[in-house]
Chain A
Amino acid sequence: MDTYFSVDTDNSRRTGLPTFAASGGVKNVVLGFTGTYDLARQWVLIGLVGLSRLAWGAKDSPIVKQRGDRNAVSAGMTLGYRF
């Protein structure tokens, strides 16, 4: 957690963000949806949507609170080939 969410004195001096020590534990809760559509015998189209919500120590980090967002949505589309 330290790596991505803590702000030590050096980083605080660089950015003006308050110092913060993130504790280890549950980082986030995720929910994912994947939809698959067979285009042909070997070709498949796959869409994906992921929802993530930072929890516990991570959500209180100033990197998230002041500069970011604890909720994240990712989405994508891939074309697959079976062989």
Chain B
Amino acid sequence: MKKSQFGKYATSQAVIRVVDILHPAAFVLIIGVCAATLCALEVAVAQEPPQRMVRLGFVSVHEFEGSKDTVLRPFLVGRVDYGQYGSLRFTGGAAQYNLLGAKRPWSFGPLVSARPAHDWDVKDPVVRLMREVDAKVGAGLFAQYWFRDTLIQGDRLGVEVETIGSKDNQFTRTVYYQSLKTGAFQYGVTSTCEVKICIGFESMLTSTGPV
């Protein structure tokens, strides 16, 4: 076995071992405990006033992850603030409820997210022949922190962590998705124009036990 192949094998084995040792449910718990601990330490920082916003448009996305074909889909985004009672945010097929008030740099709460189907209507004639994967709804937690006033006035930097679990009947396993996003670095080009940049990665883990 070549050294690079061995490296990949060893890394894969390490991930499998971590999943075996730490049941994926532990990831949800760890993120929850971390967020709760940090929330206890945080000092309330004034944020922008409560607002409500709805956005509707279209987005061109790849038909499924790894696909070379793109499709145009409607895209709905919304946010409703309830002041100290938190805020609801929905983006495409996901919705988050921030349990913390708007006057905090922290956001933390439950989320639900739809996992797209992978079925007979995909464009690729070969992938179309595969067994269908039904759309699923997963539930999980999210935590987000905005560093305020640390950069140039008007800019901000944040860290967002999400974990979602959903049952996968096809493989009789539970699939956990994690998402870590750094940013967004938000920069006001002019008083009416703003640019936001977000960098992150997403991972998927599968539980070892049956559903």
Contacts and interface: CB of A to CB of B under 8 A. Distances in A.
A18 to B, nearest CB: 12
Interface residues of A, number: 55
Interface of B: 11-12, 15-16, 19, 51-62, 64-68, 70, 75, 77, 118, 124, 126-127, 129-131, 133, 168, 170-171, 173, 175, 181, 183-184, 191-206
Contacts, number: 180
Contacts of A38: 191-193
Contacts of A69: 62, 66-68
Contacts of B70: 74
Given A3-B118, A32-B200, A37-B193, 9 more contacts: A15-B127, A24-B15, A24-B205, A28-B202, A36-B193, A48-B59, A52-B65, A68-B66, A78-B59
Contact of A74 (B60, B175, B206): B60
15 contacts: A1-B206, A4-B65, A4-B66, A24-B204, A24-B205, A27-B65, A27-B201, A32-B199, A34-B197, A44-B53, A68-B68, A68-B127, A74-B59, A79-B56, A83-B52
